Every structure is written in C-alpha cells, then in structure tokens.
Structure 1
Amino acid sequence: MTQRPERADALRNREAVLAAADALFATSGSPHSVSMDDIAAAAGVGKGTLFRRFGDRAGLIGAVIASRLEPLRQAVREAQEAAGSSAHRRVRELLDALLSFKIDNRNLMSAAEDAGLSSPYQADHYGWWHDTLRSELGEVPGVHHADFTAHALLAAVRADLVAHLIDRQKMTPDDLRAALAAHVDSVLGTDTSTSTSTSTP
C-alpha cells in the first residue's frame, strides 16, 4: 500500500512544533522545565496535536534531535568518504563533532537521556553514532574490541556529563574538547600514520 503524502498544513504544524521545542530547550535553564504545554503554546497548536503526532514527550524530543542531527550526520558521511585521513584522526574528529553538538544542545540531549526511556542506549541516534564509531575503530591498529571501545568513548560525551562539566564545574567548551582529544589519544595510543608522515623528509 502506497503511503499518502503528508498534507501541507500537517507538515507546517510539524515544523512549527519542532522549531518551538528546539528553541525552548535551547533557552531553558533546565531540560526538565520544558513541558508539552509550553511547546504546544509556542507552536500555536493544541496539546492533543503533539500527542497524536509524536506519541509522548520522548517521541517529540527524539524527532527534534533527529532534525538537528541530520546536517551533522551528513557532514560525517562526507568526511568518511574523503580520502587522506587516518582512522585514528577520523575517530577524534567524529567524537569532537559529537561533543560540540552535545555542548550546543546539552539541554535537549539531557532531556532525551531522561525522557522516560528504558535506556538511552536504545535511542536511534545512539545506535547510529555507535555503529559509525565502531566501524572507524575497527580500522585503528591496536583496538581489539571496537564494539566495547565505541560504547566507552561515547560514555565520555553523555549529555548529563557535558552539562555537569560546563554548567556546574564551569569548564570551557575548548578545555572540554581538548580533554576529550587527550582521552581519545590515551585510549587509542599514538597515531602511527601521523608520526610516520611527519618524520618523512
């Protein structure tokens, strides 16, 4: 059975809801302070529309994250297709891109981790990042368990940790990015392709 295209008004409502939720999470003082009532009012739709369209708060948050992550995913795919960088470097750049996204969207991502899901690891976006990272780690010399290492490295960029370090401990984004890069290097060891290329006359 062919799926019918979405009506124009329904599409406009969806985009309005996603934009309203995105803006509210970005400006809120806490991920817990944004309610479905707040989002419905900001989007100019009834609360029932939100539940019919997204199911619940977790479903709505997931849709907002998917829309925000798509440009980043596309950039990651393009970087993977580009030749010239080592797997070690790609892992560092991948995690740096994800950390930067978490820093900029820490309330939204914290809300996702605390949205009543049985586990944040079951979220679609987590599965995509884990699969992508595991694939790159599989090409890094010396990494013997890419699946576990991917989970361990992703734990270092959990949104609740990012929010704690920046909002509570007042760590600057640049310092946090540098700390993550150093952690990645300590886990993966020396990037031999870089050392080889720099030592070649």
Structure 2
Amino acid sequence: MEGPVLPLAAPRAERADAVRNRRHLLATARTMLAEEGSTESLTMDGLAERAGLGKGTVFRRFGTRAGIFRALLEDDEVAFQERVLAGPPPLGPGAAPLDRLIAYGQARIAFMLDHHEIARGTLDGSQPVPAGTESPMSRTHIRVLLGQLHLEGADLDMLAIQLTAALDGPLLLYMTASDLTERAEIDERMVRAWRDIIQRICGA
C-alpha cells in the first residue's frame, strides 16, 4: 500500500509538557512490564509512583488502567505502520502484491503474538470477550493488495474483512496462555495457515 493510511486517532495539539509526560509514562510502563514479565503488576497508582508524577496526571492521560495498554498498543502500531509503508520489501513497497500480502500476514501475526498480553490488558470490562479492535491499516492495506491481484468475481470488500479478522485482536484474544506456550510452533503454524489461505484464494 503506497501513501498514508488513516491515523490511529484524530490528531490534536498538545502542550509540550503533556507530550513529555505521555512519553515518560509509556517508557516507564514498558520498563515495569519488562521487569515484572506480566501485565498484572501494572496499575495506575504504581505507574504514577514509579514515574514520579501525580495520580491525577496518569488518570487524565489514560482514564483507566486499560487506557495505559491501549496507549502502549497504539504507540507500537505507529511503528508497525511505518514498516509497512516505508520499510524494505516484501513487507514494504516494491514487492509483488501476493508476496506483500503474505508478508503482511506474517508480520501482523508476529506483532499480535508479541502484544498478546497487552491486547488483553486493553479490555476494560465493558466489552465482551473477544474485544480488540482491528488496526486501521489492516483492512485498507489488505483490500488494496487484493485489488492489485485482479481476483475476478471476488467480493474484495468482504474478503478483506474476513482476512483482517484472521490477523487482528479478536482471534488472538480467544487463545489462552497454554495455547501460546510454544511460541515458535504457534507462530510457524499461523504463518503457514495464512500463506495457505492467501495462495488458495489467489490460485497460486
């Protein structure tokens, strides 16, 4: 997919100190997660104390504990989008549409497996499981690549929705910790299944 995609959120001007606080809080949250190895230990009060900021600042920035994880996920989504838009092929521009579609699925699966616990942390109790929202990029990017493949007679819009569902949050939120114990194996199987789906759809 060439060119920009929809932003993760509507841009808004922020004061310089608010931007610094956000960066500091996200960096602190990542440090806490790396040290503890679990999302369970990350709380609003704990983050405020560790960051050396008032609890009010943390609540204004994130709203809820789930908001911390949403911000972390969105932050990493931006970096992921940059890889797709401007990184080396086949994930980035320059490869054939079929190769890019397969590479996108492989990269997206790895991203979601890496962020499995953070994605679960975004659930705030008001949403049914599985919740998780698709990346603004996924459906658009997949739809563009499908269009470049000239699949005669296919409902490309619906196909893009179904393929997006095979990659993003809801599917992985169904998976339990025991399902993900053998990370290398589940990664390989999911990538192989994605490649198989795409090749069958495209008659490759």
TM-score, reference length from structure 1: 0.72
Corresponding position: 1:6 with 2:15: yes
User: Aligned equivalents of 1:29 and 1:82: distance in 2?
Assistant: 35
Pick the structure with greater CA Rg: 1
User: Which residue of 63, 84, 99 corresponds with 1:55?
Assistant: 63
User: Aligned equivalents of 2:19 and 2:184: distance in 1?
Assistant: 38
Q: 2:142 maps to what in 1?
A: 133
Range moving further from structure 2, 169-178 or 71-80: 169-178
Alignment of 1:116-127 (within 5 A): 116=125, 118=127, 120=131, 123=133, 126-127=135-136
How many residues of Structure 1 are paired with residues of Structure 2 in the alignment? 187
Corresponding position: 1:153 with 2:163: yes
Q: Offset at 1:4?
A: 6.5
Q: 2:50 maps to what in 1?
A: 42
Work out the percentage of aligned pairs sharing the same amino acid: 24
Q: 1:168 maps to what in 2?
A: 178
2:149 alignment partner, SS class: coil
2:187 alignment partner, SS class: helix
Identify unmatched segments of 5+ residues in structure 1. 196-201
Corresponding position: 1:179 with 2:189: yes
Structure 1 residues 160 and 20: CA distance shift in structure 2, 3 A: farther
2:53 alignment partner, SS class: coil
Q: 1:82 maps to what in 2?
A: 93
User: Which residue of 96, 102, 126 corresponds with 1:92?
Assistant: 102
User: Aligned equivalents of 1:65 and 1:51: distance in 2?
Assistant: 18
1:59 alignment partner, SS class: helix
Structure 1 residues 10 and 66: CA distance shift in structure 2, 3 A: same
Q: Which has the higher helix share?
A: 1
Identify unmatched segments of 5+ residues in structure 2. 1-11
Instruction: Say what the alpha-carbon RMSD is for the aligned residues.
Output: 3.4
Q: Offset at 1:116?
A: 4.2
Corresponding position: 1:102 with 2:102: no
TM-score, reference length from structure 2: 0.71
